[in-house]
Structure 1
Amino acid sequence: MSVSYWISSTTSPSYGTGPDPSEVDVVVIGAGIAGITTAYLLKRAGRRVALVEAGELAAGVTGHTTAKITAQHGAIYGKLLSSYSAKVAQAYARSQELAMAWIFAESASLGIECDLSRRVNYLYAEHRKLNEEAEAAVTAGLSASYVDEVGLPYAVESAVRLPDQAQFHPRSWLLGLAQHIPGEGSYIRTGTRATGLTEGSPNVVETTAGEIRAEHVVVATHYPIFDRGLFFARLQPKRDLVVASVIDEGTGPSGMYLAEDTGHSVRTTPHGDGKDLLIIGGEGHLVDQGAPVAERFRRLAAWAGTRFGVGEPDYRWMAHDLTTPDSLPYIGRFHPGTRTVWVATGFAHWGMSNGTLAGLLLHDLITGVENPYEHLYDPLRLNLKQSVPKLVAANAHVAARFVGDHVSAVAHSVVDGLAPGEAKVTTEGAHPVAAYRSEDGELHKVSARCTHLGCLVAFNDGDRTWDCPCHGSRFGLDGSVLQGPAVRPLRQIRTE
């Protein structure tokens, strides 16, 4: 099973369910980095805020990151120059640097200990030249340089070096920030799932703990629940794997690294008692694409062992995120007909800066402060050159999964032969069924139809969850919702 270091090394605070006001100024749904940052900033601005989280604070996507804070998001600046302009590339770079600077300033002001430190970031390639991306980063206004040596224990062909970037312990940072939200009419509800939204004046958010009325609602749930902006057609779920090994302090690489050609991510973080934690990411893939997750974890661990001489990982976890067709997040109005419902999503595995930026931008949008980046991240934008081909490809993938998985389920309609630890999507009569046999031999069955839009779930043998390959919803073996956009559990099926 996956164990995130960020979660296992912190204690989850308990936030009660009441008695809390049923009317506030803003409801923020989702307590990851975007939701907590937004709620904190609005509370500081004098708004009464209710932060609602189905699980624990910063324990979802944010709790499963590699936790780099950088303006260098892969080879993005070459893409922005070709798809947009130098002005857009420069605005993107400035906004990311603004988010990073805010984290440093606010952590110093609040005295939050979260292992925040400056690091050099490298985008490198083992088998190709990155001189064009280096030039694009400079055009975007970054202090980037083209180099061929990065300090890794294996050869690289080239790299783009960007100094004065950062890393931290994301959950320590966010738990510290969250402490400043409750009080003066604001509160946090954990273990409370938002199940409905009625837009109006005020908006009404239905939750498992009752209704909350608010002038504004922010949907910061990774994949937007209550999808009225057709985000299901404009976002593609992707996941990366992470393995981490305890090593002697100072023996690992000193910078932060991302391989443009292989997708491997490398960095270290303090682990205490003279030890560091070597964090290796990689094996990026669409949900249920290619090799099983467990095999991908084995391959990533083997890569880390070959390149850095480490043994079996001490931790491993899975990083989930969503990509947009033009690589820019969606931060702003939820749909064209609203001025009071807002969304933040599509961070493409760069949520530490993009999620912080979302909080800064949403604060300004809600409080009426002019923000120079409002149009850059507007969810209603459409770049035809960049977006349409990727939208067509992404939705063709969803359609293929929707049809193909139903056919496959019919072809595998027997569960009696499942061995302990095995799972299968099958059918019983006309109904698709997700079946899993536990290690003690007990058979567990739930409906295989995702409660979001009806795609069939697939078994994730790394986390032992049922994951939707179309839009990224995740469910426990008992059908409970672990991650949206689904808000309703899979129906349990009685086993004779």
Structure 2
Amino acid sequence: MATAPGTPLPPLTRDIEVDVAVVGGGVAGLSTAWELLDAGRSVAVLEADRLCAGVTGHTTAKVSALHTLVYDRLRRTRGAEGARLYARSQQEAVERIAAIAAALGADCELERLPAFTYVTDPEGRDAVRAEAEAAREAGLAASYTQTTGLPFEVAGAVRVEDQAQFHPRKYLLALAEDLRLRGGQVHERTRVTGLSEGTPCRVTTENGAVVTAEDVVVATHYPVFDRALLFTRLSPRRELVVAAEIPAGDDPGGMYITEEEGTRSVRTAPLDDGRRLLIVTGESFTPGTGDTEERFARLAAWTREHFPGTEITHRWAAQDNDPTDTVPLVGPFHPGARHTYVATGFGGWGMSGGAMAGRLLTDLITGYPPPWAHLYDPRRLWSTLREAPAFLKHQATVGRHFVGDRMRTTHADSVADVPPGTGAIVLVHGRRCAVFRQDDGTLRAVSARCSHLGCLVAFNNAERAWECPCHGSRFATDGSVLQGPATRPLEPREL
């Protein structure tokens, strides 16, 4: 975000007609729009805020087909052919990003490097051995190894060759510029609030402008419209990130991830002075739960322990949605959909997943579905019970928050108990209010009920935001929407 600010684009202020309306200006939305334009369709991209400034703007930007320990799981649940199709579609996405970046001359710092999934506990060796075997059977250049470039020993690792890392905003802003130069329409500050399916479809924006389109793609990370109840099949997850400058000689020379310790992910990025920026991700948690500052402290401590001498220079957080059956949901929006499509549930692998979605949705819209279309089809729930255990577990978690959070009447006894720089749920005039006290003592109060489905929000003390633990909506302290699925702000409250 700091090194690729971009040029603001105007909001949509008039009614327009296009072949395809793409809702969402992140990696999935822009990839889809670019592929559609390349296929000869007229396109409009509608972004509620700024392009690539949400989840995509805060990603750690690995472009990899190695998704932790997915292939051994897929060959057990989807068979060898399902694992092969997943690997092929994801690796083709890696190559597609590299090819487009080269064709556009995008200075996006793309580097081809190996990706690793590792364990430090010897008891985890069998799992990574099995993953290496499954990934190799699926068609990836995978091997098992106990040697990495990390400055600490590992018990075992899967290594996959020829993966990539890059600067996502520099790449996607180049896509957006090329879109506009070739006649595509791209609009920021254009929040979509209505979708009417039909022939044609109609998309309504917050300021009243209407887009008429033959087809509509909803690529808002978490679907802002949910005709198929996809929120029941997506678990929101936040992860924290810290970064530190290191000498180029300390670069571990690859991209690394482990599921140990609540996830630890490591990569580097180039800096102008020849040094590298070490990027460490981890501390996975459900939005609105626990102490975020404490988690940041643990992640920073892990970084300093494993990369001695580092000083943290940046920190931020990202959010992902995990599908209940491992595979993203990309395709027709719901069982009756003819002209509406969705891309969601990338499970932390949105760079390759978003590029894959762009090609898959373009092929579906133009009538040439690829062999893996059925693998990602969001309608697959209607024909299988494969995801039932994870589905039921997710619903139980949501139910506990919806009911249990109400059993805790308040988080503070009174408004006076809320210290500066913090927020709490307080009962005011018989209503639960989300109260934030600014550093200067000024109070802001909004409804504590998420405007999506009514769960109670909780305060994230590190990021100073209200978060919904049920479906991941996030709100600023003034109640404005930071992240969906909510499309409406939290209502203001008088104290």
Calculate the TM-score normalised by the size of structure 1.
Answer: 0.96
The 3-state SS of whatever aligns with 2:276 is: strand
2:298 matches 1:322: no
1:168-317 matches, within 5 Å, as 168-182=166-180, 186-209=184-207, 210-262=209-261, 263-289=263-289, 291-317=290-316
2: CA distance between counterparts of 1:224 and 1:422? Answer: 30
- Alignment match of 2:94 (pick from 96, 100, 107): 100
2: CA distance between counterparts of 1:274 and 1:184? Answer: 36
What residue in structure 1 maps to residue 490 of structure 2? 490
What residue in structure 2 maps to residue 421 of structure 1? 421
What residue in structure 1 maps to residue 439 of structure 2? 439
* Identity of matched residues, %: 48
- Offset, 1:368: 1.2
- Offset, 1:20: 5.5
1:20–1:187 contact (8 Å) kept in structure 2: no
1: CA distance between counterparts of 2:242 and 2:489? Answer: 30
The one-letter code sitting in structure 1 at the alignment partner of 2:369 is E
2: CA distance between counterparts of 1:160 and 1:493? Answer: 53
Residues 1:412 and 1:404: Cα distance change in structure 2 (over 3 Å): farther
Residues 1:187 and 1:416: Cα distance change in structure 2 (over 3 Å): same
1:12–1:56 contact (8 Å) kept in structure 2: no
2:411–2:425 contact (8 Å) kept in structure 1: no
1: CA distance between counterparts of 2:410 and 2:258? Answer: 41
- Offset, 1:311: 4.0
2: CA distance between counterparts of 1:145 and 1:297? Answer: 33
2: CA distance between counterparts of 1:142 and 1:455? Answer: 42
Residues 1:184 and 1:356: Cα distance change in structure 2 (over 3 Å): closer
Residues 1:213 and 1:385: Cα distance change in structure 2 (over 3 Å): closer
The 3-state SS of whatever aligns with 1:493 is: coil
Residues 1:315 and 1:397: Cα distance change in structure 2 (over 3 Å): same
1:79-109 CA distances to partner (integer Å, 9 max, x unpaired)?
1011120000011000001101111111111
- Higher alpha-carbon deviation: 344-353 or 185-194: 185-194
1:354-403 CA distances to partner (integer Å, 9 max, x unpaired)?
01000000111111123111101000003745310111110110011011
Residues 1:95 and 1:66: Cα distance change in structure 2 (over 3 Å): same
2:12–2:190 contact (8 Å) kept in structure 1: no
What residue in structure 1 maps to residue 83 of structure 2? 89
Residues 1:153 and 1:185: Cα distance change in structure 2 (over 3 Å): closer
The one-letter code sitting in structure 1 at the alignment partner of 2:218 is V
1:436-475 matches, within 5 Å, as 436-475=436-475
2:422–2:464 contact (8 Å) kept in structure 1: no
Unpaired segments of 5 or more residues in structure 2?
Answer: none
What residue in structure 2 maps to residue 381 of structure 1? 380
The one-letter code sitting in structure 2 at the alignment partner of 1:79 is R
1:327-369 CA distances to partner (integer Å, 9 max, x unpaired)?
1000001111111010000000000100100000011111112
What residue in structure 1 maps to residue 142 of structure 2? 144
Unpaired segments of 5 or more residues in structure 1?
Answer: 1-6
1: CA distance between counterparts of 2:195 and 2:181? Answer: 25
1: CA distance between counterparts of 2:10 and 2:385? Answer: 49
1:203–1:217 contact (8 Å) kept in structure 2: yes
2:63–2:94 contact (8 Å) kept in structure 1: yes
The 3-state SS of whatever aligns with 1:146 is: strand
- Offset, 1:261: 2.5
What residue in structure 2 maps to residue 162 of structure 1? 160
2: CA distance between counterparts of 1:185 and 1:94? Answer: 32
The 3-state SS of whatever aligns with 2:417 is: coil
1:245–1:310 contact (8 Å) kept in structure 2: no
1:263-313 CA distances to partner (integer Å, 9 max, x unpaired)?
100111101112110000110112233x41111011100110011024441
- Alignment match of 2:33 (pick from 25, 36, 39): 39
CA RMSD of superposed structures (Å): 1.5
- Offset, 1:23: 1.3
- Alignment match of 2:57 (pick from 63, 68, 86): 63
Runs of 4+ residues deviating >3 angstroms? 18-21, 383-386, 409-413
Residues 1:420 and 1:375: Cα distance change in structure 2 (over 3 Å): same
What residue in structure 2 maps to residue 3 of structure 1? none
1:142-180 CA distances to partner (integer Å, 9 max, x unpaired)?
121111111211111111111111110011000001101
1: CA distance between counterparts of 2:315 and 2:415? Answer: 30
Q: How many residues align?
A: 488
1:103-118 matches, within 5 Å, as 103-118=97-112
The 3-state SS of whatever aligns with 2:375 is: coil
2: CA distance between counterparts of 1:321 and 1:272? Answer: 30
1: CA distance between counterparts of 2:259 and 2:304? Answer: 20
- Higher alpha-carbon deviation: 447-456 or 306-315: 306-315
- Offset, 1:439: 0.7
1: CA distance between counterparts of 2:392 and 2:10? Answer: 45
Structure having the higher helix fraction is: 2
- Higher alpha-carbon deviation: 458-467 or 306-315: 306-315
1:235-283 CA distances to partner (integer Å, 9 max, x unpaired)?
0001111100112223221111001323100111101112110000110
- Higher alpha-carbon deviation: 85-94 or 136-145: 136-145
The one-letter code sitting in structure 1 at the alignment partner of 2:462 is G
Residues 1:140 and 1:199: Cα distance change in structure 2 (over 3 Å): same
Calculate the TM-score normalised by the size of structure 2.
Answer: 0.96
